[in-house]
Amino acid sequence: MSEEILKKYPELALEGLPTVKQRLEICNKAVTQMAIEASQVCIKNWGRSLSDITHLVYVSSSEARLPGGDLYLARGLGLSPATQRVLLYFVGCSGGVAGLRVAKDIAENNPGSRVLLATSETTIIGFKPPSADRPYDLVGVALFGDGAGAMIIGSDPIEGTEKPLFELNTAIQEFLPDTEKKIDGRLTEEGISFKLARELPQIIEDNVEDFCDKLMSVAGFQNKEYNKLFWAVHPGGPAILNRIEKRLDLLPEKLNASRKALMDYGNASSNTIVYVLEYMLEEAIKIRKDGGDDPEWGMLLAFGPGITFEGILARNLCN
């Protein structure tokens, strides 16, 4: 949101007007442009040709149109018309890890494939003018942010050309029965209306340990060995991070990357896991320069509507 947008669309600052058309005019264009820019940087860092991308997974909860943003992203990047596309809409904060899970499955089942995962979000789709009757809205305005992210996922990396960062070993998804109203989003004439239950951090705390133990057992870790892992947790908010740290008895530095991403960019929904992983890589470089060792195994976690838990047991390949 900006002064420029409010001058062009003054109706967005008024309560009760049907503005979904105007919001989508802004959002559909904005998320595509941000996704293109993030993807171009990612592809440049990857070092291989655009024509080597075989699949596209696109994630967004900030647009609605037919055809979807996956097609506009593919065209904007100049991908081949034969690129196979998957679109994940309205997955919310778990979208980034969900996208990784889907990309992992595609890569493992299509030898030689390279999957571009792109996420893009803007809060304008759910913007509300300030109201004394809804002081809690200010929490959302302060917490959520815009942005985009991108990654390349594949199997059997080409030595000397590709430098893999993480191995996505095992991915699982689980929803908590009877919690579908705890993260409630609806597309209305005034845009998307979100309601987050106050007990959401407590619900995540109560269920995160069992969920993580299922993933950890795959790599042979015993229960409670949480500090032997690295942790890339979607920072839904400070309360959620604090509750996870407390329940798992994590050392404070274990969630440094998540807290830094939240501080710098806010909760940018599906994008935020990309920022967390980026900060983790920066931290790992500093640790190795100082002669230390960063953990080989770790956890990627996110929580979204459902309430849905997404988790990936990953191996750090940068050591």
CA distance linking residue 97 with residue 299, whole number of Å: 11
Tell the burial category of 247 from Cβ atoms under 10 Å away from its Cβ (0-12, 13-18, 19+).
Answer: middle
- Closest by CA position to 235, among listed 209, 213, 200, 260: 260
**How is residue 151 written in tokens?**
């990654």
d(CA 158, CA 146): 34
What is the Cα–Cα distance from 206 to 146, expressed in whole angstroms?
29
| Residue-wise DSSP of 176-192 | -TT-TTTEEEEEETTEE
Query: For residue 181, what are its two tokens?
Result: 């109203």
Q: What does the CA dihedral 48, 50, 54, 57 come to, rounded to 10 degrees?
A: 100
How far is it, in rounded angstroms, from Cα 280 to Cα 232? 8
Task: Point out which residues pair with 315 in neighbouring strands.
Answer: 167, 297
Alpha-carbon span 208 to 261, nearest angstrom? 21
Cα–Cα distance, 39 to 29 (Å, whole number)? 16
Q: Output the six-digit token pair for 235.
A: 């920072």
Q: Rounded CA gap, 56 and 85, in Å?
A: 5
212 is catalytic: no
Cα–Cα distance, 273 to 150 (Å, whole number): 10
Whether 306 and 179 have beta carbons less than 8 Å apart is answered as: yes
Active-site hit among 27, 42, 93, 212: 93
What amino acid positions are annotated as catalytic residues?
A: 93
